[in-house]
C-alpha cells in the first residue's frame, strides 16, 4: 500500500482571513513575533497499490478534480510505502 500526505494552501496572492484570525488570536495570547499565518488543509490517503506511478496519477486526479480549487489553491504531496 502507498500513503499520500497532501497539503493544500491558498495561493500567495489570495487573502487568507482564517490565517489572519488565527494570527490575531495567537497575538492576543502574548506572542508578538508573528509575521504571518496561513491556514490550509491536510489529507492523508491510503491507496491499495504498490505502484508509485499509478499512485501519482490517482493522487493528482483526486487533487485536481475534488480536493483543490485551482483558481485559489495550490497543493503538494508526498508518497510513501506503508
* 15-56 per-position pLDDT tens digit: 999 999 999 999 999 998 999 999 999 999 999 999 999 999
pTM for the full predicted model: 0.89
Grid coordinates representing 9 are 494552501
Q: State residue 24's pLDDT score.
A: 96
Other CB atoms within 10 Å distance of the CB of residue 56 = 14
What the chain holds in terms of domains, given with CATH numbers, is 2-81 (3.30.1280.10)
* 64-73 per-position pLDDT tens digit: 999 999 999 9
Helix, strand, coil percent content, the chain, rounded in steps of 5: 35, 30, 35
- CA dist 14 to 1, 20, 50, 58, 65, Å? 36, 12, 37, 27, 20
d(CA 3, CA 30): 38
Amino acid at each position: 500500500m502507498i500513503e499520500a500526505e497532501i497539503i493544500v494552501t491558498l495561493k500567495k496572492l489570495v487573502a487568507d482571513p482564517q490565517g489572519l484570525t488565527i494570527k490575531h488570536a495567537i497575538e492576543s495570547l502574548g506572542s508578538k513575533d508573528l509575521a504571518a499565518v496561513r491556514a490550509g488543509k491536510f489529507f492523508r490517503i491510503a491507496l491499495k497499490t504498490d505502484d508509485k506511478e499509478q499512485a501519482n496519477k490517482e493522487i493528482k486526479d483526486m487533487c485536481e478534480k475534488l480536493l483543490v480549487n485551482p483558481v485559489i489553491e495550490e497543493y503538494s504531496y508526498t508518497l510513501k510505502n506503508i
